[in-house]
Amino acid sequence: MFLTQQELSTVSTDQIINAIVNRDTQIVEDIIGESIDVMSTYLHQYFDTNAIFQATGDQRSKTILKHLKAIVKHELYSRRSSTMNEVVKDAHAEAMTWLEKVSKGEIKPALPPRIVDTDDDGIPDSEVPFLKLGSRRPYENRF
Cα-based distances in Å from 65 to 20, 34, 69, 73, 116 = 21, 14, 6, 12, 25
User: Average pLDDT over the chain, rounded to whole?
Assistant: 84
Specify which of 21-25, 61-65, 115-119, 139-143 reaches the highest per-range mean pLDDT.
61-65
Closest CA to 62 of 138, 122, 2: 2
Burial class (CB in 10 A: 0-12, 13-18, 19+), 139: exposed
pLDDT at 70: 93
pLDDT of residue 106: 93
Q: Answer for the pair 21, 27: CB distance below 8 angstroms, yes or no.
A: yes
Q: What is the pLDDT of residue 93?
A: 95
- The pLDDT value recorded for residue 122 is 63
* CA-based radius of gyration for the chain: 21
Residue-wise pLDDT for 63-103, tens only, equals 999 999 999 999 888 887 767 788 889 999 999 999 999 99
Q: How far apart are CA 92 and CA 18, in angstroms?
A: 20
CB 67 within 8 A of CB 95: yes
pLDDT exceeds 80 at position 53: yes
